[in-house]
Chains A and B, each alone.
Chain A
Amino acid sequence: MATVLNVQNLSKNFGGLRALNEVDMRIDSGEIVALIGPNGAGKTTFFNCITSIYTPTEGEVRFTPKSGTESRINGMKPNLVTGLGMSRTFQNIRLFKNMTVLENVMIARHCRTKGGILGALLRTPAIRKEEQEIVDRSYELLKYIGLHRYYNDLACNLPYGEQRRLEIARALATEPSLLLLDEPAAGMNPQETASLKQLVLRIRDELDMAILLIEHDMSMVMSLSERIYVMEYGCMIAHGTPDEISKDPRVIKAYLGEDHA
């Protein structure tokens, strides 16, 4: 299987605080991989580093999109990383709150379209066609996620669980090869979590992408992921299949708690 993401020796310092310490990770195409760890372990920081929101202090991030060659992406502009085919959601929801649900998804089509200023002013047939394609494609995605009923509502008026799903729709609209989900089930009730699980599986199978997922909901992590990475205090302390991880003594001590032993 082809490697999509290859992270080596990644470190990130915030002043004196070492939030990431020589972290390695590998994701193959079509895999669902989970990243777990106690609060403050550095999971979100890891996401921010590989998507170039932060510049890593040390290390290498290599990314190979579905159709393309491997490139080194650390230090690249975040929008270019997205353009290459890596897309993410945010732990603390970052929707465009005062825009409609449809517009939120339409914005994510920005990097896959190219209408410029002149086109906008003259409104040429080509531009109009492109605009309508953006609308159609975005609406299609909303339908795929099951949010099309709300398409004309403001994003901030959506229920919390739906906002998380909208973030996923928005991320999908950039046509990623690797989808990064930062605690997608946080704040969801059991039904919502169950349907989210279905959605993640569907996305992987039907849209053919690798998924890296940060999650605190252990049942979700165990049932969804093929491999799990465990982080603590910025270090990768273990990695393996769900079975191996749930038996690993270090993980049990650090994360799952003594009662799982």
Chain B
Amino acid sequence: MQELTKSLKVSLWFMFLTFPLMVVRVNTIEHTVEWRWMNMVYMAVGSFALSFVWRWALRRKEMAKAAPERPRNAFTERLGSDKRFTVSVYGGLFALFALMPWIVSTYQTNIFISFMLYVILGLGLNIIVGVAGLLFLGHAAFYGIGAYTYALLNHYYGIGFWTALPIGGVVAALAGVVLAFPVLRLRGDYLAIVTLGFGEIVRLVLENWSDLTGGPSGVSNISRPDLFGHHLSVAGANTYVYYIVLVMAIVTIIAVQRLKDSRIGRALQALREDEIACQAMGIDRVNVKLMAFGLGTAWAGFAGVIFAAKTTFINPASFTFFESAIILSIVVLGGMGSNLGVILGSAFLVLMPEYLRAFSEYRMILFAMAMVLMMIFRPQGLIAPKGRKYIINDPDLAATEGGKA
């Protein structure tokens, strides 16, 4: 009942607020005033319903919090503990993705290439933001550095894709380390602002150093990757790029997972939790932070090289802050620190807009709404990071656990 009155008040308030905008229309030609009362009714009903649903969802969330912990999502739980299930799920997915270019059109293959590029970018950023807890808003700059590394090496020295791929990664990683030096002492918002600034600096340099980078018009005619020295047709090269990205994405997933579960990954997590305790436990703060940035941005470099090879044309407009924001949203939406989450996040943010072209005008609104709802109802992201399982050699343990249950 109280909820109803509250929603009613909200709708009245909205009616009042939107009255001048939605109801009154002055026709300046005929000097008459139109009163569009119907709009007011729509407004009232709409805001009432929205407010009511909103309250109901919030209440449900409170209730869920009060209730004892429910069993974890069965699917993600099984994915990892049940070996046959895991293998068949991953095997099936792999087969699907491997056959993709032969099933779908070139246009859709392209969409999937960009999806997997974002997976690589997201996983890289996840090391910095999700695992090490450093809010980083300049990821696109390193994507750009990777892309330009290949584009310029190719343009000036004719260096091929396969040579440029590791170079791009290394250059981006080094750039990440260079950025990390001045921001070692910064945390949170301050770090975010500086990294944002760095991203913009990189973009502005690319845009204005016309002699080297071609300025805003970018670099064109970048070579597509060769298959053992053979030149491929445009469609063939596209398929080839698809497989390169697929392999690269899988490599990234495995590598990032291994890093996360390693001694280094633990140090990164500790850094996120408590810097002082981290140092007191013998972890070199500076070293670990530099590693976090280098390890994260290297993947952006790889993705950049592949991007340049795929499009054969790049310009600074592809590496704006907006791009960084998208990658960050992928990580936040998917679940900070969770690799599976990042993959789902990029699927959501890259594939959705492509397949919902009809709503393309409302894309940014939907996007923002998704983020807001996410923050309220599932702040940990789609998938909360799963803890690692350890092998404990202790015969007594089974007994104590049995006793506890």
Question: Which residues 231-283 of B have a CB within 8 angstroms of A?
Answer: 255, 258-259, 261-267, 269-270, 273-274, 276-283
Instruction: Tell me how many residues of B have a C-beta within 8 Å of chain A.
Output: 36
Q: Take A96-B269, A99-B270, A99-B273 as given contacts and tell me if A115 and B281 are in contact as well, using a CB distance cutoff of 8 Å.
A: no
**Interface assignment of A77: CB less than 8 Å from any CB of chain B:** yes
**Interface assignment of B357: CB less than 8 Å from any CB of chain A:** no
Q: Take A110-B267, A134-B263 as given contacts and tell me if A120 and B258 are in contact as well, using a CB distance cutoff of 8 Å.
A: yes
Contact A111 B283 (CB under 8 A): yes
Mostly helix, strand, loop or mixed at chain A's interface?
helix
**Interface assignment of B291: CB less than 8 Å from any CB of chain A:** yes
Contact B279 A110 (CB under 8 A): no
Q: Take A107-B266, A132-B391 as given contacts and tell me if A117 and B274 are in contact as well, using a CB distance cutoff of 8 Å.
A: no
Contact B273 A96 (CB under 8 A): yes
Contact A94 B276 (CB under 8 A): yes
Q: Which residues of A lie under 8 Å from residue B273 when comparing CB positions?
A: 95-99
**Interface assignment of A43: CB less than 8 Å from any CB of chain B:** no
Using CB atoms, name the residue of chain A closest to B281.
Answer: A108
Contact B291 A110 (CB under 8 A): no
**Interface assignment of B397: CB less than 8 Å from any CB of chain A:** yes
Using CB atoms, name the residue of chain B closest to A52.
Answer: B279
**Interface assignment of A141: CB less than 8 Å from any CB of chain B:** no
Q: Take A98-B273, A106-B266, A110-B266 as given contacts and tell me if A123 and B258 are in contact as well, using a CB distance cutoff of 8 Å.
A: yes
Complex formed: what's the CA distance from A112 to B404 in Å?
A: 34
**Interface assignment of B28: CB less than 8 Å from any CB of chain A:** no
The 0/1 profile, CB within 8 Å of A marked 1, for residues 274-317 of chain B is: 10111111111100000100010000000000000000000000
**Interface assignment of A136: CB less than 8 Å from any CB of chain B:** yes
**Interface assignment of A233: CB less than 8 Å from any CB of chain B:** no
Which residue in B258, B269, B284 is a CB contact (below 8 Å) of A77?
Answer: B284
Contact A96 B274 (CB under 8 A): yes
Contact A135 B277 (CB under 8 A): no
Mostly helix, strand, loop or mixed at chain B's interface?
helix
Q: Take A107-B266, A110-B263, A139-B394 as given contacts and tell me if A117 and B295 are in contact as well, using a CB distance cutoff of 8 Å.
A: yes
Q: Take A121-B258, A136-B393 as given contacts and tell me if A94 and B283 are in contact as well, using a CB distance cutoff of 8 Å.
A: no
Q: Which residues of A lie under 8 Å from residue B269 when comparing CB positions?
A: 96, 99, 103
**Shortest distance from the beta carbon of B403 to any chain A beta carbon, whole Å:** 9
Question: Which residues 60-84 of A have a CB within 8 angstroms of B?
Answer: 77-79, 82-83
**Interface assignment of A113: CB less than 8 Å from any CB of chain B:** yes
Q: Which residues of A lie under 8 Å from residue B73 when comparing CB positions?
A: none
Complex formed: what's the CA distance from A106 to B274 in Å?
A: 15
Listed stretches A18-26, A29-37, A143-151, A200-208; interface member: A143-151
- Show the binding face of B for A, using Cβ within 8 Å: 255, 258-259, 261-267, 269-270, 273-274, 276-285, 291, 295, 387, 390-394, 397, 400-401, 404
Supply 21 A–B pairs (Cβ within 8 Å), ascending by A: A82-B279, A94-B277, A94-B280, A95-B273, A95-B277, A103-B269, A107-B270, A107-B281, A108-B282, A110-B266, A110-B270, A112-B282, A115-B262, A115-B263, A115-B264, A119-B262, A120-B259, A120-B265, A134-B263, A139-B394, A174-B282
3 A-B pairs with least C-beta separation: A111-B282, A120-B262, A82-B282
- Show the binding face of A for B, using Cβ within 8 Å: 51, 53, 77-79, 82-83, 87-88, 90, 94-100, 102-103, 106-108, 110-113, 115-117, 119-121, 123, 127, 130-132, 134-136, 139, 143, 148-149, 151-152, 170, 174
